[in-house]
Structure 1
Amino acid sequence: MSVFSAIGEDREIDRDEFTPGIEPQATWCPGCGDFGVLKALKQAMPEVGRTPDETLLVTGIGCSGKLSSYFESYGFHSIHGRSLPVARAAKLANPGLEVIAAGGDGDGYGIGGNHFMHTARENHDMTYIVFNNEIFGLTKGQTSPTSPKGHKSKTQPHGSAKDPVRPMSLSLASGSSYIARTAAVNPNQAKEILIEAIEHDGFAHVDFLTQCPTWNKDAKQYVPYTDVQESDEFDFDVTDRREAAEAMYDAESRLYEGEVLTGRFYVDSDRPSYGAEKRATEEMPEDPLAERYLDEDSEWERSADLLHHHR
């Protein structure tokens, strides 16, 4: 077991351990898809074998940001669009920690879009759950990066003139090594996908369709849905980038036509994570940097000192 925390503890884990005592009941609107994310995550963690003490959940701003309040683990509620850089720093400092980041479509694909692209490119070992409801919910219904073209809102009263972001296609082009889409109305699939994403060694991106009955009447509940792994209509190799790209483009197009395609779209299990690459080149130590805080004999290195030695 790590001296830094309970990492490596081998025991039975109950999903109820992930329900906080202070704020156990979520206060999202009735019918909100965010409840589905919380339920799936609570069900996934015991299957992964991680305890609350071994887990960090970093959230952004928005309805999705409340996730860290309703999920018992280490948590960090970051500012808008900045959950990924915080999560990256935590993972690099303590690689044994299970790091999960979460944000909404506005938070993740808009305000934090640059962080999303580069975190994927570098293949940091973490899971990124994006609550995609095609709207800014907490700020009362503004057009978001995934709102369909023509969607009318407070910020686009005559209808959006912009095509929506294609999140999975963007994720693939940026370099994510695990990409999936699931929906709050498909709880069993959501749990299984989150288990796979968390266990994946690299950057795992889950586009999680979460209906917003309060501010986005157009998206309804994302039903009926089709699991691309279970349907005879779809037969593509999730390890082939070209085939995955075509499947993603098809799924992203059909969503705005009323057909919801969910499932695994791309998996690259061979590519090393950013941390593994850094440790292989000895740019990062094998021992977690975080443990130096508890080691009185540890010698701290300062970048300024290193620059001084090279003069």
Structure 2
Amino acid sequence: MSAFSAIGENAERDRNEYTPGLEPQPTWCPGCGDFGVLKALKGAAAELGLSPEEMLVCTGIGCSGKLNSYFESYGFHTIHGRSLPVARAAKLANPGLTVVAAGGDGDGYGIGGNHFTHTARENHDMTYIVFNNEIFGLTKGQTSPTSPKGHKSKTQPHGSAKDPIRPLSLSLTAGASYIARTAAVNPNQAKDIIVEAIEHDGFSHVDFLTQCPTWNKDAKQYVPYIDINDSEDYEFDNTDRSEASEMMHETENVLHEGTVLTGRYYVDEDRPSYQQEKQRIGEIPEEPLAERYFDDDYEWERVYDTFLDKHK
């Protein structure tokens, strides 16, 4: 079975189908929030009826980078901060694939921050899950872009002098069309949000709070949490950019004061994806580019021929 013949099967799935035989047991630290991401992704894939062959999981470097080792599907373990450009290329070549990119807060908001903003700006049709534990975990506890001001670490022994990045607000400003935050301690909400993110046509950004009990004891476990979409204390329209922006700003202000707000912050169902825009102007064909590799009769086009024709 290939990534082409499996697409559109619509079969009932069990979450255990996404447990690989080669490395079924994750080696994350006991109590790590990354287990919550894996569980939520397995549950979402099963609920959507996706076969492992229909999915591609691209990861960066760090604890989060092991996600595609523990999830049975096509996978690509990229270099630090580069999961998004690889995921973008795969989705453009084979749009039938369900593409999920993943990385940590350092991988996604720091080293790969430029890719994050431009992928959101272009609205590529994929889901991006950022494991946000406010620390560099794999390299043993350095300050990350989301570490709170004053946080002491190996790289900031006297406390960080920098304000943390605001991932939700940054995502909205950059142009993501689905933005949500969830937490490993809220598995049901996490699964539902990932289902919605995958179903969304466009760039879906999920900021996933994942506690790190080994290297970031200050963050604890992000509890208690409040679902802003269910709470009467936080009423806003998540299809309105202005109201979404205000809600994000409040969420990011109170996180380090002990109030953990989660939920769906912004949803734009009307904005075309990058692929749809490119097809509209005739720069991407309707059929998947990747299928040409399986077509022995296809006559390959050469880019330089296009330029030569213009100068004849």
Normalised-by-shorter TM-score class: over 0.9
- Deviations along 1:211-250, one digit per CA (max 9) or x if unpaired, are 0000001000000000001111100000000000000010
- Deviations along 1:90-113, one digit per CA (max 9) or x if unpaired, are 000000000000000000000000
In structure 1, the residue corresponding to 2:137 is in which secondary structure? coil
Which residue is 1:211 aligned to?
211
Unaligned runs of 5+ in 2: none
Which residue is 1:197 aligned to?
197
Matches within 5 A, 1:223-262: 223-262=223-262
Aligned-pair distance for 1:198?
Answer: 0.4
- Deviations along 1:168-204, one digit per CA (max 9) or x if unpaired, are 0000000000000000000000000000000000000
Which residue is 1:273 aligned to?
273
What is the rounded CA distance, in whole Å, between the counterparts of 1:232 and 1:241 in structure 2?
Answer: 20
Q: Which amino acid aligns with 2:159?
A: G
Unaligned runs of 5+ in 1: none
- Contact 1:4/1:290 (CA < 8 Å) preserved in 2? no
- Contact 1:4/1:294 (CA < 8 Å) preserved in 2? no
- Contact 1:60/1:80 (CA < 8 Å) preserved in 2? yes
Q: Which amino acid aligns with 1:202?
A: G
- Deviations along 1:99-155, one digit per CA (max 9) or x if unpaired, are 000000000000000000000000000000000000000000000000000000000
Aligned-pair distance for 1:2?
Answer: 8.3
Which residue is 1:43 aligned to?
43
What is the rounded CA distance, in whole Å, between the counterparts of 1:215 and 1:4 in structure 2?
Answer: 42
In structure 2, the residue corresponding to 1:99 is in which secondary structure? strand
- Contact 1:63/1:104 (CA < 8 Å) preserved in 2? yes
What is the rounded CA distance, in whole Å, between the counterparts of 1:4 and 1:44 in structure 2?
Answer: 21
Q: Which amino acid aligns with 2:144?
A: S
In structure 2, the residue corresponding to 1:256 is in which secondary structure? helix
In structure 1, the residue corresponding to 2:207 is in which secondary structure? strand
Task: Using structure 1 for the length normalisation, give the TM-score.
Answer: 0.98
Residues 120 and 3 (structure 1 numbering): CA distance in 2 closer, same or farther, change over 3 Å? closer
What is the rounded CA distance, in whole Å, between the counterparts of 2:140 and 2:180 in structure 1?
Answer: 28
Which residue is 2:4 aligned to?
4
Q: Which amino acid aligns with 2:209?
A: L
Which residue is 1:186 aligned to?
186
Which residue is 1:68 aligned to?
68
The alignment status of 1:141 with 2:141, answered yes or no, reads yes
Residues 10 and 232 (structure 1 numbering): CA distance in 2 closer, same or farther, change over 3 Å? closer
Which residue is 2:85 aligned to?
85
Aligned-pair distance for 1:15?
Answer: 1.1
- Deviations along 1:59-95, one digit per CA (max 9) or x if unpaired, are 0000000000000000000000000000000000000
Aligned-pair distance for 1:10?
Answer: 3.0
- Contact 1:2/1:8 (CA < 8 Å) preserved in 2? no
Task: Indicate the percent of aligned positions where both proteins have the same amino acid.
Answer: 77
The alignment status of 1:17 with 2:17, answered yes or no, reads yes
Which residue is 1:105 aligned to?
105
Task: Using structure 2 for the length normalisation, give the TM-score.
Answer: 0.98
What is the rounded CA distance, in whole Å, between the counterparts of 1:295 and 1:310 in structure 2?
Answer: 28
In structure 2, the residue corresponding to 1:218 is in which secondary structure? helix
Deviates more, 1:163-172 or 1:5-14: 5-14
Matches within 5 A, 1:169-180: 169-180=169-180
What is the rounded CA distance, in whole Å, between the counterparts of 2:80 and 2:3 in structure 1?
Answer: 33
What is the rounded CA distance, in whole Å, between the counterparts of 1:294 and 1:249 in structure 2?
Answer: 49
In structure 2, the residue corresponding to 1:223 is in which secondary structure? coil
Deviates more, 1:288-297 or 1:3-12: 3-12
- Deviations along 1:40-70, one digit per CA (max 9) or x if unpaired, are 0000001112110000000000000000000
Which residue is 2:157 aligned to?
157
In structure 1, the residue corresponding to 2:217 is in which secondary structure? coil
Aligned-pair distance for 1:302?
Answer: 1.8
Matches within 5 A, 1:113-128: 113-128=113-128
What is the rounded CA distance, in whole Å, between the counterparts of 2:276 and 2:203 in structure 1?
Answer: 12
What is the rounded CA distance, in whole Å, between the counterparts of 1:199 and 1:175 in structure 2?
Answer: 18
What is the rounded CA distance, in whole Å, between the counterparts of 2:196 and 2:230 in structure 1?
Answer: 17
Residues 308 and 48 (structure 1 numbering): CA distance in 2 closer, same or farther, change over 3 Å? same
In structure 1, the residue corresponding to 2:219 is in which secondary structure? coil
What is the rounded CA distance, in whole Å, between the counterparts of 1:127 and 1:144 in structure 2?
Answer: 22
- Contact 1:3/1:291 (CA < 8 Å) preserved in 2? no
